[in-house]
Amino acid sequence: MADSAFNVYIGAWLNYSNDVLTLTLRDKEASILSAALVLFVGVVANHSWNVCKFIVHQVRTTRDTGDELHQQQQVALRNSANNVHALLLMLRLAFGWGIPKRRTSKMAAFGGSIPLIVLTLLGAIGWAVAQLFLAVVWTNTGDHFLVIPNHCGLVAATSNVTTAAGQAQFDLIKGGLTGANIYQLQCYRQHNDSDADRTRCNKFPVPRLDWIGSDAECPFGNKDLCLPATNSTPFRMDSGYINSQTHLGINVEHSNSIDFRYIATCSPLVPDYKVRKNGSYFYYYGGNDDIADDYNDTRVTWVYNNTKGTNDNSYNIWPFSYVVDKEFRNLIRNWGPNNSMIPSDKSAFTMSIFFISAGDMFHVSHSDDPVFGTKSKSGRKINGVEAFAPRNPMSVLGCTEEHEVCNPSESGPNRCMMMTRKPSNATVIERLKLNPSQAATILILRTELERNLFRNYVSSLNPQLIATNGLIRGTRNYLQYLALPKDHWRAEVSRWFDINLIMLQSAFVDYVTGPDEPAVIPMLIPPEKDTNTTAEIREELRRTCERQIVRNVNGVRNFNLRAILWVVGPGFAIIMLGFTIDSLAGWAQGLLRKGEARRALWIKDDMLQPKRDGQVYESVLLADGSGMGTEYSGYNNGSQDQVKYPLVAAQFDGVHGGGYKSPGVVGAYSPVRER
């Protein structure tokens, strides 16, 4: 089964499952990028304020210079560094302004400051929120990562477990089943949304493949084979359509994916098809090639006797299967069911039968389960506790399993087909009109389907049955201390169904990462050496090695690259505009010959301008000799009437908004505020 320690691709890639251009980085680089992005947004915020304050300043610049508060607000706007700085300056002016016996009262000052306070406050809040939550937008890309292939390819199957390679392959499958059994318990049976659960269930593109269970009709041709009891109603398990891109993690466009559906229907069978001979029970549900020679009986399915070890005090299970494909006539079997068992309404399926024995086990609680049930009366007392013997020496369970594959890009009658191992790959590809990418996926899927059956996996599960978890060893017998519900058999087949789905999930990840057993690696068939298909499909198999997605890999993080580009691109534009807004405006105003006086006041309101004004004053004083007769034009306390001041007052003209009037000085100017 897939290991959670994956090597993942570092860089940019497109996740087709959510259409996100993803940037994957190691944690160290990701932390640096996250911090840099937050700082970058802060810089953008400052420069966006440069643009905003210039526009507001120019809009507020009119022929009516306004009172002293208006002029101070203009100066504050001009010299504020960012939204927060501007907000503080506006609050200081609003609460600190207002002089007795002057027109501008404290209330009037506060009221006149509200628009600017609201503007700067909204800007400060907006950019603070942006810095907090833009990181979430950038990283909201999901927890999918692209796997770097290790030993990519299919493992050549072998049934000879006597060789070292065969035993290694058997151990690989058994180890995979052990991992699947643990994964089923943690992520299918007891799944929740806790952090610990997300950590354990992070091996596959989706944590689990959900399925629907429901009551069904007897899946066999002879409906009387199914046990007619309320708690024996046949149980149907349907995975729905599993998409190779969305659910199995092959990162291709949806048109290059395939859909797969797995359906299993199980039912307890009537145990009446048996004959007792010499103390043994002979069960007749069709001939079994594995034991026909042992008993000189071609019709017997299984025998419950001492020589087979079926009197063990624990649970034992013996599975047999029969593959039916009515279109492709060659059948695969070790058990040949009676003709009456084969359903006529199914064209391609696998039928399995399971013989389950509890031996001489006793239960501390009575159970009405049709497979694991007990006799209604206790047979003995064990340590003073009433104990119940199994109802039957052996119970029989039957299942049918169906696999359907579909081409989601097609419509009509040939969109889907029921599939067993019999039709050739070429037949499946032609029938479903699969493109090379889809054909490559089918090859991987079919390799798993050859063993993805209850009969193949149940024998190697440990434990084979959930009920085994309730056993304790007594002096002479095992004792079942769990109170098994009346439909416990459904929990058992549900677990088998879960295991098959987990093994399907694992098959696609294992194809890319390769086997864990070093002895199996020489048996690996890399895509380029797969002689059972065309060169075009071999190339797609090779590409599939670079397309597998997994989840929640430690040490790496994802970013939404499109979101970053959308922020960084306009952000740089805002920064450049913030640097050049006044120069660009001056160029435009000069070109249009409109609004030049407004920009002159923008320059005049700079906090460095009073120093330059003082230098002009010194120049005027030197030019005049004594300074007498040189005048400064200004407005008295907001009056609309222009008055004359001595030039010494010119040091404060940046506050009062007046201008120099010195005809004898070159470069003297008298800006006016325009509407």
Q: Break the chain into its structural domains and give their ranges.
A: 154-551, 610-675
Residue showing tokens 């416990």: 488
- Token digits of residue 17: 């499952």
Going by the DSSP 8-state scheme, the letter that residue 583 receives in this structure is H
Instruction: Say what the pLDDT of residue 504 is.
Output: 92
Alpha carbon 466 to its chain's center: 31
Q: Angle CA(244)–CA(549)–CA(19) in degrees, nearest 5?
A: 80
At 69, phi and psi to the nearest 5?
-60, -45
Q: Where are the alpha helices (DSSP H) in 190-348?
A: 195-200, 292-295
Residue showing tokens 């506790």: 385
* Neighbouring-strand partners of residue 17: none
Rounded-to-10 torsion of CA 156, 249, 403, 449: 10
Rounded distance, CA 242 to CA 441, Å?
A: 13
> Helix count (H) and strand count (E) of the chain?
16, 28
Whether the Cβ atoms of residue 87 and residue 117 lie closer than 8 Å to each other: yes
Q: Is 41 helix (H, G, I), strand (E, B) or coil?
A: helix
pLDDT block averages, 10 residues each, the chain of length 675: 70 91 92 89 88 85 71 83 86 71 62 84 87 74 86 74 71 83 85 57 87 95 89 95 94 94 96 85 88 85 67 78 73 78 86 88 88 83 80 90 93 85 81 92 85 82 80 69 90 94 91 80 82 86 91 88 90 90 80 75 69 47 44 43 39 37 35 38
Whether the Cβ atoms of residue 132 and residue 138 lie closer than 8 Å to each other: no
List the beta strands (DSSP E) in 393-540. 395-406, 416-418, 471-473, 478-480, 524-525
Rounded distance, CA 457 to CA 170, Å?
A: 12
Instruction: Say what the pLDDT of residue 311 is.
Output: 47
- How many Cα neighbours within 13 Å face the side chain of 280? 14
Whether the Cβ atoms of residue 407 and residue 439 lie closer than 8 Å to each other: no
Whether the Cβ atoms of residue 63 and residue 675 lie closer than 8 Å to each other: yes
Rounded-to-10 torsion of CA 656, 661, 662, 666: 90
Closest CA to 48 of 101, 75, 86: 86
- Token digits of residue 671: 């800006």
Q: Which helix (H) or strand (E) holds 37?
A: helix 27-60
- Dihedral over Cα of 244, 250, 251, 252: its sign: negative
Q: Which helix (H) or strand (E) holds 543?
A: helix 535-544
Give 155's contacts (C-beta < 8 A, 6+ positions apart): 169, 172, 515, 520, 523, 524, 525
Rounded distance, CA 571 to CA 134, Å?
A: 13
For the chain, what is the radius of gyration of the CA atoms?
42
Q: Which amino acid is at 112?
A: G
Rounded distance, CA 198 to CA 674, Å?
A: 65
